[in-house]
Chains A and B, each alone.
Chain A
Amino acid sequence: MDSDHVRTLEARCVEEHPPACQNACPLHVDARGMLGKIGTGDVAGAFALYARVVPFPAIIGHICDHPCETVCRRGEAGGPVRIAAVERTLVEEAYPSPRPTARRQTKPRRIAIVGAGLSGLTAAADLARKGHRVTVFEADAHPLERLRHDYPEDRLPPSAIAVDLGALDSLGVVIQCRTRITGGSGPRGLETLIDTHDAVVLALGPGVAQDFAPTIHLADNGRIAIDSQSRATSHPKVFGGGFHGALGENYSPIGSVRDGRRAATSIDRFLQGASLTATDAREEAEGSCLYVNITSHAPVPPTEPSNPKAGYTLDEAMAEADRCFPCHCLECTKACAFLSHYRTYPKRAVREIHNNLSIIMGNRKANRMIDSCTLCGLCETVCPTDLAMGDVCLQARQEMVASGHMPASHHDFALRDMADSRSERSAFARHQPGFDQSTLVFFPGCQLAASSPGHVERLYAHLRDRMKGGIGLMVDCCGAPAHWAGQTDLHGEVRAHLHRTWTSLGEPEIVTACASCLSMFRAHMPEIPVRSLWPLLTEIGWPKGAGQGSAGKTLAIHDPCVGRHETEVQRAVRTLARGFDVTLEEISSPELTTCCGFGGLVSFANPEVANAIVDQRAAERSEDYLTYCAMCRDNFARRGKRATHLLDLAFPPTDGSDPAARPDPGFSGRRDSRTRLRIHLLRDIWEEDMTDPEPAWTVIIPDAIRAEMERKLILVDEVTAVIAAAETSGQKIKDAKTGHVIATLRTGPVTTWVEYENTAEGALVHRAYGHRMTVEVPS
């Protein structure tokens, strides 16, 4: 994952783009943050955010022309947040009579500012804060004369002007009123100012400036020609402030402040010899790119002040601030339990993943995060720019494996389970008895074989009955665990093996009952024709008598995440279920389905996140769920959500038990089922000589211990092997107090410990645990 690719990915995530209000504000006030603080009653914090960028908070808080409100997205759901009215309450409630201090400059420069309007005084304040010596020349009797005339006192109280001018005074700005600067080189001429100062701001307001024509160029309308971005004029030492409010322009106080600030920024650059035009935050704001899902917010009308003239009380301002959504995208984070667990979003996560991969020395803190994504594709489905975190996480896993930095414990168990499902204990492929070719081959998927082997037998019998030309059977693994683990080489081996098997069967079309297998074949083995079992069943029907006892049930249907775009399959499953007179409820649209926690092997690398994912889905509806993926069903069952597989409806348990209450068979149960399925099928259908496996030792495991073993990924076979080895070799520990036996065995990368008690019925297990470290006495 090179830096360019990372930057491209980061750029596609819009979450960090400024909201529309901030984007539209000439000063880029963080209105979203400010409203958030007011909403929680943090008035001081809100004022601090406001005053950080607004040079005259008391004045602007009363007269801002609030372009933010025009673009406020709340406007689409009840009316824009009245940000200006909230700001007014904020400055009236929280103005702390500030005494700003100027930075110490080793070489302060002399700056002359002509005009003590908002624009000129903003430039004065900004440059004074940087430690420069600023003198403002004003022709009128008072600074801010225009504001005093244009606004009545109940709109802009004189006290607000006084407090802001007081703050300016404390910065050391000198204002010389009744001092008109003229053109030319007289004592108060512009050329004299230029000669005696390091830079000059002409903040003249809206009028024409013919007097200055010989010194600086004028535009056709008689105003000083000023670059709108840099505020540069034709004279390198002279910069222009704003001139809003004439020639048909609307007067904008906040626009004047912005122009003064731009002039000050340019002067600072000019004094340092830096470029005036290099890209910076002064660029004209374009529309905000931040996506906001407005439909998820109910319309709320604006708060009306009880006394419109006085404006909002603090309580009213807090209520109005609460109308701010606030604007965020976070579509993926809201939808994904993995991203919300890590309180992250793609832009931040991609950077974290990239940094994690780039670490040479030190801890790779994002390893577990990378392995906690189910690769389910929901994020890209809801993302306004189709950014796929699953692709990022999968690529990161592949790189971690390639560089030897994948933590072995994250996927080791799942890969050993995959190895078992591909081994001679479980996997096989045959033509239908009596045929030397297959027109179709049934590929049930290793998890259906493991979860409900009886259904595999029933389906295969049905397919043989209805389909002509020889229906082969291929019980194997599609390699999804290797792919999800980032094990590129191992996945390649699995594909090569599957290809060989398929070729040996005469290259028939594969029919699979598993959504993961379907997607793995399609994505990684396009040479193999593959189709889903479910549409085929709508064509050939069920066996006679299928679905008895299912009529009248109401079930909420859960589509597997890998099949979120398989519309043909989704339709077929619904048709099949309704054919049993089952009433179906949708949990979400199939496209927005979530993972059950098994995808991406998350249940192995981060069980906490996997459980959060399945629990979140399970809580969406109260009805029993209907699935058509064995792993989805078992994961719901494991977390206590009643769930029925479509095949449970078709072939209900013969003992009359409730299929929705069928417990999760667990990893040991699954392995056992796969092994027994192979023996049954080969013995019963192909009449091969098969013997049932003998247990190595009689072991009794109470349910509570079995559940803990499942959580710790310890298999019954492993516990049995420990006990058998100890009892055979005599190498064990005895607890003199309890009479229990403690034994251990290293199998593969894990050491398993078992505490048990030999009883007349067998070894009763009291405790099982494991570790990956090895321990030995030094030789």
Chain B
Amino acid sequence: MTTSTDPTPPNPEDLICAKCDTPLRIGKVLASYMGQTFPVDLPLCPTCGFVYVSEDLAEGRMLKVEQALEDK
């Protein structure tokens, strides 16, 4: 579900790190919760390492993993 008045979520290919003026690229990232760490590929700024997490990811797969880890 989106919270936006504009229902179209951002396309990662259109995203630019404002600080470095660099388009985001898919890169290796470590996602961690409750002492568990998982390698994932996410859009990030190749210069400063700023990682983008989309709403779909945060409220979909990421939420499921969080809940699964909390119930371990």
Judging by beta carbons under 8 Å apart, are A773 and B29 in contact?
A: no
Q: Closest approach, in angstroms, between the C-beta of A684 and any C-beta of chain B?
A: 38
Closest to B42 in A: A775
Tell me the bound Cα distance from A767 to B1 in angstroms.
11
Contacts of A286 in B (CB 8 A): none
Judging by beta carbons under 8 Å apart, are B31 and A775 in contact?
A: yes
Contacts of A766 in B (CB 8 A): 3-6
Contacts of B27 in A (CB 8 A): 777
Tell me the bound Cα distance from A776 to B37 in angstroms.
10
Q: Closest approach, in angstroms, between the C-beta of B21 and any C-beta of chain A?
A: 9
Does A613 sit within 8 A of B, measured CB to CB?
Answer: no
Judging by beta carbons under 8 Å apart, are B19 and A730 in contact?
A: yes
Contacts of B65 in A (CB 8 A): 773
Closest to B45 in A: A733
Contacts of B68 in A (CB 8 A): 363
Closest to B62 in A: A771
Tell me the bound Cα distance from A734 to B18 in angstroms.
6
Contacts of B66 in A (CB 8 A): 409, 771-773
Closest to A732 in B: B18
**A774 and B71 in contact, given A705-B3, A733-B52, A734-B15 (Cβ under 8 angstroms):** no
In residues 269-292 of chain A, which contact B (Cβ within 8 Å)?
none
Closest to B46 in A: A777
**A731 and B50 in contact, given A705-B3, A705-B4, A771-B58 (Cβ under 8 angstroms):** yes
Instruction: Name A774's contact: one of B32, B50, B67, B72 (CB within 8 Å).
Output: B32
Judging by beta carbons under 8 Å apart, are B3 and A712 in contact?
A: yes
Tell me the bound Cα distance from A742 to B19 in angstroms.
12
In residues 656-711 of chain A, which contact B (Cβ within 8 Å)?
702, 704-705, 708-709
Report B55-70 CB contacts with A as 1/0, cut-off 8 Å: 1001100110111101
**A773 and B55 in contact, given A704-B5, A730-B18 (Cβ under 8 angstroms):** no
Judging by beta carbons under 8 Å apart, are A767 and B30 in contact?
A: no
Q: Closest approach, in angstroms, between the C-beta of B58 and any C-beta of chain A?
A: 4
Judging by beta carbons under 8 Å apart, are A742 and B10 in contact?
A: yes
Report B6-18 CB contacts with A as 1/0, cut-off 8 Å: 1001110011111
Q: Closest approach, in angstroms, between the C-beta of B43 and any C-beta of chain A?
A: 9
Tell me the bound Cα distance from A712 to B28 in angstroms.
28
In residues 728-779 of chain A, which contact B (Cβ within 8 Å)?
729-738, 740-742, 744, 751, 753, 755, 766-778
Judging by beta carbons under 8 Å apart, are A777 and B55 in contact?
A: no
In residues 709-726 of chain A, which contact B (Cβ within 8 Å)?
709, 712
Instruction: Name A767's contact: one of B4, B34, B52, B53 (CB within 8 Å).
Output: B4
Tell me the bound Cα distance from A367 to B72 in angstroms.
10
Contacts of B32 in A (CB 8 A): 773-776
Report A372-399 CB contacts with B as 1/0, cut-off 8 Å: 0000000000000000000000000000
Tell me the bound Cα distance from A388 to B48 in angstroms.
56
Contacts of B14 in A (CB 8 A): 735-738
Report A520-542 CB contacts with B as 1/0, cut-off 8 Å: 00000000000000000000000
The size class of the interface chain B forms with chain A is: 35 or more
Q: Closest approach, in angstroms, between the C-beta of A49 and any C-beta of chain B?
A: 37
Judging by beta carbons under 8 Å apart, are A774 and B52 in contact?
A: no
Does B26 sit within 8 A of A, measured CB to CB?
Answer: no
Judging by beta carbons under 8 Å apart, are A367 and B31 in contact?
A: no
Judging by beta carbons under 8 Å apart, are A733 and B50 in contact?
A: yes
Closest to B40 in A: A775
Contacts of A219 in B (CB 8 A): none
Does A100 sit within 8 A of B, measured CB to CB?
Answer: no
Closest to B63 in A: A771
Contacts of A162 in B (CB 8 A): none
Judging by beta carbons under 8 Å apart, are A733 and B72 in contact?
A: no
Does A166 sit within 8 A of B, measured CB to CB?
Answer: no
**A408 and B18 in contact, given A773-B32, A774-B32 (Cβ under 8 angstroms):** no
Report A560-589 CB contacts with B as 1/0, cut-off 8 Å: 000000000000000000000000000000
Judging by beta carbons under 8 Å apart, are A740 and B18 in contact?
A: no
Does A364 sit within 8 A of B, measured CB to CB?
Answer: yes
Tell me the bound Cα distance from A231 to B19 in angstroms.
91
Tell me the bound Cα distance from A767 to B44 in angstroms.
20
Contacts of A178 in B (CB 8 A): none
Q: Closest approach, in angstroms, between the C-beta of B8 and any C-beta of chain A?
A: 8
Contacts of B39 in A (CB 8 A): 778
Tell me the bound Cα distance from A367 to B67 in angstroms.
10
Judging by beta carbons under 8 Å apart, are A742 and B3 in contact?
A: no
Q: Closest approach, in angstroms, between the C-beta of A766 and any C-beta of chain B?
A: 5
Does A236 sit within 8 A of B, measured CB to CB?
Answer: no
Interface residues of B (CB under 8 A from A): 1-6, 9-11, 14-19, 24, 27-34, 39-40, 42, 44-45, 48-53, 55, 58-59, 62-63, 65-68, 70-72
Q: List 26 A-B contacts (CB under 8 A).
A: A365-B71, A704-B5, A708-B3, A709-B3, A730-B19, A733-B15, A733-B16, A733-B52, A735-B15, A736-B15, A767-B2, A769-B55, A769-B58, A771-B58, A771-B66, A774-B32, A775-B29, A775-B31, A775-B40, A776-B30, A776-B32, A776-B51, A777-B29, A777-B44, A777-B51, A778-B39
Q: Which 10 A-B pairs have the closest CB atoms?
A: A407-B70, A708-B3, A777-B49, A767-B4, A771-B58, A737-B14, A773-B33, A769-B55, A766-B4, A736-B14
